Structures are given as C-alpha cells and as structure tokens.
Amino acid sequence: MDAVRWAVLGAGGIARRRTIPEGILPAGNAELVAVCSVPDGEDVANQFGVRYCPTEEALLSSDIDAVYIATPTFLHHDQVVRAVQTGKHVLCEKPLALKADDAAGMVRASDKAGVKLGIGLMMRFHACHVEAARIIRAGGIGTPVMGRAQLSCWYPPIEGAWRQDPELGGGVP
C-alpha cells in the first residue's frame, strides 16, 4: 500500500506539537509532504523537512492525497469545501463547523467529490475510553442508565485569541 501524502493547513498548536510528530510522521502509511500556516508555516515546514506552501491554493494544487486542517473553527467550512472540491481527502480538527448546516454542507461536498471527510475526535480512541467501551459492551457494569464526562482545560486570557471568542468558535457562548 502506498503511503498517503499529507499536507497540513494550519500548523500551529496541536498540529505542530502533537499531530505531525505523534500522528503523521510515525505512521507507516503516511508521508508529510507540505505545510501551509500563518504566521510560522515556513518554520514548521523547515522543522519537519517538508515543502512550505505560502497559500492555501498552492497547498491544494500540490501533489497530495489528503489535508489535515487544524485552523480556527470559523475557517473550517470554506477550507474543507475547497479541499474536497480539489479531490483531497480531509481530516478536520473538531469542532467541524460553527453551525450544523455548515457541517452538513461539508459532508455533502465531500460525498459529491467522492472523498473522505473525517473529524479529529482523538479522545474517542484514547486507551481508557476504548477499554471503558469494551467493559460496557461486555456487560461488565450492567446496563448503563446515565453517564457523565468532563474534559476541561484552562486558557489564560489572550487578547485577540480566537479560542476565547464564541463568534469565531471558541469559548462558551
């Protein structure tokens, strides 16, 4: 099987620290080919020894099979639609979109283009969660009637940070 040729759109934060070094690079069936990111995309490309694409258009017109999109949520809809329209498979960070209608449009666009669209729900595959699901399915705790989980992280106030602006997909409205 040939390796999937990946590009990363939005290589700050989670992409640079986790997804590229822990997900794409060690995978035997994946090859990181290109990066497009503002403001430090060239640095990220140099760090991982791949091509730097200064624009989204350059990235999508390059010889890649799939795009990992790790940009702020408010950008996802248009970026996913453009990527699938160029025939690229997409793995998009969560949340997929700001509105359910936008997410549905992204799914329709990927179906129409005949490419795959996935959402980066990494906690679904965490070893603890996989084991809990196995125990529940095996009847190890009886029939669950209610469950509650919480994952929290704190972000210090940062002026202009999209994660703290509900209009851009961050924070709590």
**Domains contained in the chain, number:** 1
- Quick check: 15 and 43 in contact, CB under 8 A? no
pLDDT over 60 (residue 172):
no
CATH number of residue 110's parent domain: 3.40.50.720
67: which strand partners?
7, 90
Q: How far apart are CA 134 and CA 61, in angstroms?
A: 43
* Of residues 165, 9, 158, the one with CA closest to residue 76: 9
For residue range 129-165, what is the model confidence (pLDDT) as tens digits?
899 999 999 999 999 999 888 777 777 777 777 777 7
Structural domain of residue 52, as residue ranges? 4-121
Residue 51 lies in a domain: yes
Residue 155 lies in a domain: no
For residue range 90-143, what is the model confidence (pLDDT) as tens digits?
999 988 999 999 999 999 999 999 999 999 887 788 898 899 999 999 999 999
